[in-house]
């Protein structure tokens, strides 16, 4: 039997030990590489979970640009509704401090609505509803000229989106563009009588708030408005009779 203490046996033992060490290192490196690949490879997740991570760049956003734009548009509508609710409560508030606080919060909500709608139209430049709501929020924060531009852009995309004609008519009257305000009303009168009536009511409110304002153009507008009211009344009566006969 060979002596286990011989030099040849010692070399073999050292060689085996070294091979074991190398094997351990290789296995460790392989394990680390496998874990790294697993961590970096995106795993399939449902749409709801993916939505929260897509903005961070981990996963591809499953929503189309139109869908993302619509979601932002709807979020903007929620801020608009909050602002309008605060305005209603401010009108009912008896305490001046409470009224001021509510109106201040309403303005912040309109600013948030502007941010959402701007993001919506940036993602999808054909989202005419978002352009229209952007115009409304801009108007409520006092930026009337940009508001008209937003409504005009909405109508350039979809001329038959009549809520934009109604909002546009209100702002144009505030800016003193009486002829353009009339045009908005006539478009509505021919296509959407309900919105035409709303715009007419807004005209009356503006005139009541600016009763001291005197100008030839305003007087002509008042005369035109009275004529349109009479015509609308006659037209409504004729349409009612027509419906009754049916």
Count of structural domains within the chain? 2
Query: If DSSP states are collapsed to H, E and C, what string results for 186-216?
Result: HHHHHHCHHHHHHHHHHHHHHHHHCCCCCCH
In degrees, to the nearest 5, what angle opens at C-alpha 189 toward C-alphas 188 and 191?
60
Local confidence pLDDT in tens for the 246 residues of the chain: 445 455 565 665 666 566 666 666 766 676 666 666 555 655 544 444 444 444 444 445 667 899 999 999 999 999 999 999 999 999 999 999 999 999 999 999 999 999 999 999 999 999 999 999 999 999 999 999 999 999 999 999 999 999 999 999 999 999 999 999 999 999 999 999 999 999 999 999 999 998 888 788 888 999 999 999 998 888 765 555 555 555
Domain boundary at 140, 157, 174, which? 157
Q: Does 204 reside within a domain?
A: yes
Domain boundary at 107, 135, 157, which? 157
Q: What is the predicted pLDDT for the residue at 213?
A: 80
- Domain extent at residue 185: 159-246
Q: What is the predicted pLDDT for the residue at 185?
A: 97
pTM of the shown model: 0.71
Q: Are residues 114 and 183 in the same domain?
A: no
| Cα–Cα distance measured from residue 173 to residue 136, given in angstroms and rounded to the nearest whole number | 14
């Amino acid at each position: 039997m060979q002596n286990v203490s011989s030099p040849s046996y010692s070399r073999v033992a050292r060689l085996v030990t070294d091979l074991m060490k190398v094997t351990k290192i290789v296995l460790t490196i392989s394990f680390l590489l496998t874990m790294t690949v697993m961590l970096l490879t995106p795993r399939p997740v449902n749409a709801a979970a993916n939505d929260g991570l897509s903005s961070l760049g981990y996963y591809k956003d499953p929503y189309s640009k139109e869908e993302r734009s619509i979601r932002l548009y709807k979020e903007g509508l929620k801020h608009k509704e909050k602002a309008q609710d605060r305005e209603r409560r401010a009108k009912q508030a008896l305490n001046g401090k409470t009224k001021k606080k509510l109106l201040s919060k309403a303005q912040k909500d309109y600013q948030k609505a502007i941010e959402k709608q701007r993001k919506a139209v940036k993602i999808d430049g054909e989202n005419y509803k978002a352009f229209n709501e952007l115009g409304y929020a801009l108007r409520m924060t006092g930026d009337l000229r940009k508001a008209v531009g937003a409504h005009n852009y909405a109508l350039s995309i979809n001329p038959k989106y009549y809520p934009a004609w109604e909002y546009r008519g209100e702002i144009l009257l505030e800016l003193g563009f009486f002829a353009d305000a009339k045009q908005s009303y006539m478009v509505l009168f021919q296509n959407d009588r309900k919105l035409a009536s709303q715009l007419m009511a807004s005209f009356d409110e503006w005139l009541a708030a600016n009763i001291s304002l005197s100008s030839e153009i305003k007087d002509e507008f008042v005369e035109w408005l009275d004529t349109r009211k009479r015509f609308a009344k006659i037209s409504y009566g004729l349409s009612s009779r027509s419906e009754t006969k049916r």
